[in-house]
Structure 1
Amino acid sequence: MLLDGRVVLVTGGSRGIGRAIVAGLAAEGAKVAFCARGAEGVQTAEAELRTGGAEVTGSAVDVADGDAVAGWVTASADRYGAVDAVVANVSALAIGPGEENWRSSFRIDLMHTVRLVEAALPHLERSDAASITAVSSVSGREIDFADGSYGVMKAALVHYVSGLAFDLAPKGIRANAVSPGNVYFPGGVWSGVEQGDPDLFAHAMGLNPTGRMGTPEETAYAVISLVSPRASRISGTNLVADGALSRGVQL
């Protein structure tokens, strides 16, 4: 993947998709700084990943706090001497009606990505293999049970990175999105739905033509492939990783 020695920043890296992204990048030889809101989860993830030989650093950061995000980016760049790529993975997972869900989705899903990119840009401009990747969702391209604030902000992420791809191309910085479908892991959203709303879980499972939901590692592979310098000609794309769940046609 040509990631050996590269420095990558990942938000929401202590569990689920984010944890798999951090582990996958580290397995390719990258140096990874990751953050998440819960200090205990960050410490546990960092210790477990380092036991496996990964060069990672975890930090407890509330990504709704713009100053905290900027400070984390600066500290990570100082620690590793560079930033080659950023992966915006955090989501508020604010599904359902109500203004608070709209505020949370805007502040966390969209604006944390914007702030991460703006803080990292001076460092990315010095890299010869710079990239930006945002984790969106198939809910951003189809109307499903997560329409409203969640789906709208996930769609906004795709639009945002598409604009970045065009604007930053002259500087050699790529920008892409990855849109996963249902991703199942213990303690995750779908694990909770399975216990709390078995009818919804059965309905969602039935929509998957593969007969199963995806794993964090499968989504992580899509992200890592776009972060890789081997994807040097791929910018402005939305890579759907959903096992043929969604039925929209990308033209």
Structure 2
Amino acid sequence: MDLRIANKTALVTGGTKGIGRAIVDAFVAEGANVAFCARSADEVAATEAAFASAPVTVVGTVLDVRDTACLTAWVNDTAERFGGLDMIVSNVSALAIPDTAQNWVDSLEIDLMGTVNLVQASLPFLEKSSAGSIVALSSVSGREVDFASGPYGTVKTAIIGYIAGLALQLAGRGIRANTVSPGNTYHAGGVWESLEASDREFFDSAVALNPTGRLGTPQEIAASVVFLSSPVSSRTTGANLLIDGALTRGIQL
């Protein structure tokens, strides 16, 4: 299927590993130019180098999304370089699960305000696009109570509410806004790989909870994120797309 995003520009936060890196891969495979950011200079350089021979332009920037001024400058610089922005994906997360004071601060500053500030900086450019789209990564932990309830789950719930409100506010301006809520997703260097080694009993119990008998992959999440970002999904806005292998049981009304 042609997603009609060839030569359009996507912006992805947290684009060097896991789901974020898979999203960058998927946009590139569809012929979109991509600007991504992450905090590690080495990881940004390695990811950028991996796309050096790609037929599109992929540019990485070292950035902490808590720095609002730098985040805004990155958005502006990207729009100037590519002549605008079409699709933004707020993916970066503190993954701050234990209920500690610092984890509340990190979740609010990185997950929630990182999303809000990215959106606010991008809106003038998205409004000029014929395919303006916002996708924010939430989580199944934002939809129902589980082991990650606390700072992580609460802020992921807030992201769903924020993006749903944006969908209503921006529909008349031609900008769509949706969330994607992955279930437990396994990738090298990720939380679940770590738990597989450090707490095998808990890891096995998490796998057993899923009717598919396995955890998800970043590529499975990325495919839906890029489709949802594309003009092919032009009628979808205000949605929270669960990608969890039937892990959650609630019915969305």
TM-score relative to the length of structure 2 = 0.98
Q: 1:124 matched to which residue of 2?
A: 126
The corresponding residue for 1:150 is 152
- Structure 2 counterpart of 1:61: 63
Distance of 1:52 and 1:169 partners within structure 2: 34
In the alignment, structure 1 segments of 5+ residues that lack a partner are none
Tell me, in whole angstroms, the C-alpha distance in 2 between the residues paired with 1:54 and 1:218: 22
State the Cα RMSD in Å. Answer: 0.8
Contact 1:8/1:31 (<8 A) preserved = yes
Shift of 1:69: 0.6
1-side partners of 2:25 and 2:178: how far apart? 20
**Out of 29, 32, 38, which is 2:31 matched to?**
29
Counterpart contact for 1:178–1:238, Cα < 8 Å:
yes
DSSP-derived class of the 1:243 partner: coil
Matches within 5 A, 1:1-251: 1-251=3-253
Aligned to 1:203, the other structure's residue is in SS state: helix
Q: CA deviation at 1:54?
A: 4.3
Q: By how many angstroms is 1:244 displaced?
A: 0.5
> What are the Cα deviations for residues 196-216 of structure 1, in whole angstroms up to 9, with x where unaligned?
111111111111110110000
Could you list the runs of 4 or more consecutive aligned residues of structure 1 that deviate by over 6 angstroms after TM superposition? none
In structure 1, C-alpha distance between the alignment counterparts of 2:26 and 2:111, rounded to whole Å = 23
Q: Matches of 2:195 and 2:81 in 1, distance apart?
A: 40
Matched residue pairs, number? Answer: 251
Give distance in 2, aligned partners of 1:145 and 1:52. Answer: 40
Deviations 1:5-64 (A, max 9, x none): 111100000011000000100110101000001110011011112334442100110011
Which stretches in structure 2 are left out of the alignment for 5+ residues? none
Cα distance in 1 between the residues matched to 2:197 and 2:54: 32
SS at match of 2:121: helix
CA gap 1:7/1:52 in 2 versus in 1, 3 angstroms: closer
1:167 aligned partner, one-letter code: Q
